Amino acid sequence: MAIEDITDYASGVTAIDAHFAGRPGQVASHLLVDSGEAALVDVGSNFSVPHLLRGLEAKGVMPEAVRYLFVTHVHLDHAGGAGELMRHLPRATLVVHPRSARHMIDPTALFEGARGVFGDEVMATHYGEPVPVPEDRVHIVDDGDRLPLGRRSLRFLDTPGHANHHYSMVDETNALVFAGDTFGVAYRSLINARGAFTFPSTAPVHFDPDAAHRSLDRLRDLKPDAIYVAHFGEVTEIDRLADDLHRGLDAHVAIAERHADAGDGQVRAIAADLQAWLQEALRAHGVELSDAQFRDTLGLDLEINAQGLAVWLMRRGAGR
């Protein structure tokens, strides 16, 4: 495993690059180790499993030491590899949101829903077909529940917005938060002297901007020392980034509403305006990307965000 695939933070948390879609820097699986017990937070897709196993080996963590897999939500870039990974971790329990459990035990509907959004080719190259997790290895956590990991106390918060089945996990012992996609996307390649750059993820199919705003504030109000996001790694400028994300959510909603009546070209129109907004926000942050660099770094996010906003408009129009 390349050294750049593992990032050790001063907090004791390690980010292992899951190489989602065969690319570095897209999805981080965060490793916690305490008193001989280990856990991973978010695990990428089936194709991420060899990278995560090599990461555990590089950190000296035996498969039998992994007590938990925490999946913040069941979008396949976070949870798609859970069933396959559990085959290699004989003592691990999968910890899920109440709305997620059935999709991990029988991922058929989850896979078919994702295939309807992304198509067969992307599913085959990016995700693979999820492996079911035995029901007796799945543990459901409600808002406010706690679990121990070594000497750490881990508390779970219901944080909808990006998805209606999303939790965030608080390491109360060390003032850390593992936020999945609730605290946005913050790729390391976009960090500069001004710090991290972040923007919201508005993926299909249950994006809810009002809930997303509330969840952001809930995490900020914890005043953590650091937040760990799946895309990608540790962020520490909590107040500034929360403000940026609130503004970004408002901008995404305004762009979607501008194209509420666009018909068949709606997703393309939303994506074009999102690209213009993102490019301007990047320039304001001091990041200049060529068109090719933009497509390579942000093209998939742009497409997914546009699709999610179109679904949100449809659901809102239907009163759901």
The region of weakest confidence among 139-143, 184-188, 270-274, 314-318 is: 314-318
pLDDT for res 32: 99
pLDDT for res 120: 78
CATH code for the domain of 84:
3.60.15.10
> Are the beta carbons of 205 and 109 closer than 8 angstroms?
no
Whether residues 210 and 303 share a domain: the answer is: no
Whether residues 265 and 191 share a domain: the answer is: no
Q: What is the pLDDT of residues 76-87, one digit of tens each?
A: 999 999 999 999
Whether residues 123 and 164 share a domain: the answer is: yes
Whether residues 17 and 64 share a domain: the answer is: yes
Confidence of residue 127 (pLDDT cuts 50, 70, 90): confident
Whether residues 164 and 304 share a domain: the answer is: no
pTM for this entry: 0.95
- The answer, yes or no, to whether residue 56 has pLDDT greater than 70, is yes
Whether residues 175 and 265 share a domain: the answer is: no
Average pLDDT for 105-117: 83
pLDDT for res 129: 84
DSSP-assigned states of every residue in the chain: --GGGEEE-TTS-EEEE--GGG-TTS-EEEEEEETTEEEEE----GGGHHHHHHHHHHTT--GGGEEEEE-SS--HHHHTTHHHHHTT-TT-EEEE-TTTHHHHHSTHHHHHHHHHHH-HHHIIIII-PPPP--GGGEEE--TT-EEEETTEEEEEEE--SS-TT-EEEEETTTTEEEEETTT-B--GGG-BTTB---B----SS---HHHHHHHHHHHHHT--SEEEETTTEEE--HHHHHHHHHHHHHHHHHHHHHTTT-GGGHHHHHHHHHHHHHHHHHHHTT----HHHHHHHHHHHHHHHHHHHHHHHHHHHTT-
pLDDT for res 320: 59
Structure-model confidence comparison of residues 64 and 263, the more confident one: 64
Q: What is the pLDDT of residues 272-307, one digit of tens each?
A: 999 999 999 999 999 999 999 999 999 999 999 999
pLDDT for res 113: 77
Q: What is the pLDDT of residues 141-166, one digit of tens each?
A: 999 999 999 999 999 999 999 999 99
Whether residues 275 and 140 share a domain: the answer is: no
Chosen domain end from 209, 241, 273: 241
Whether residues 132 and 15 share a domain: the answer is: yes
Whether residues 203 and 255 share a domain: the answer is: no
pLDDT for res 200: 99
CB atoms within 10 A of CB 60: 9
Whether residues 200 and 255 share a domain: the answer is: no
In DSSP terms, 94 is beta-bridged to 69, 138
Confidence of residue 319 (pLDDT cuts 50, 70, 90): low
Whether residues 172 and 312 share a domain: the answer is: no
For residues 85 and 82, what is the distance between their CA atoms, to the nearest angstrom? 5
Number of domains within the chain: 2
Chosen domain end from 193, 217, 241: 241
Q: What integer best gives the mean pLDDT of the chain?
A: 95
Average pLDDT for 18-25: 90
**Full domain range(s) for residue 138:** 3-241
Q: What is the pLDDT of residues 192-241, one digit of tens each?
A: 999 999 999 999 999 999 999 999 999 999 999 999 999 999 999 999 99
Confidence of residue 116 (pLDDT cuts 50, 70, 90): confident
Chosen domain end from 193, 216, 241: 241
Confidence of residue 122 (pLDDT cuts 50, 70, 90): confident
- The answer, yes or no, to whether residue 318 has pLDDT greater than 90, is no
Whether residues 220 and 294 share a domain: the answer is: no
